[in-house]
Amino acid sequence: MGELNTGCVGCMGAQNESLEQGCRAHGLDVNELLKDLNQVLAD
């Protein structure tokens, strides 16, 4: 997540938001993020 400059680890909102809500708040495409996360897990 740091690569995306979201700062999720220290964000109070991260405790109350879904991944989709967080993506929307940062202008990110949740489907692209999920694709990237799945690729990291597959490697």
Distance in Å from the first CA to the final CA of the chain: 17
The CA distances from residue 14 to 6, 31, 37, in Å, are: 10, 18, 17
Is the per-residue pLDDT at 8 higher than 80? Answer: no
For residue 38, the model assigns a pLDDT of 93
Return the number of other C-beta atoms located less than 10 Å from residue 33's C-beta: 18
26 or 8, which is more confident: 26
Segment holding 40, helix H or strand E: helix 30-42
Q: Write out the two tokens for 33.
A: 């993020």
Tell me: pLDDT of 3 over 70. Answer: no
The tokens for 13 are: 């909102």
Domain spans of the chain, in order of start: 2-42
The model's pTM is: 0.67
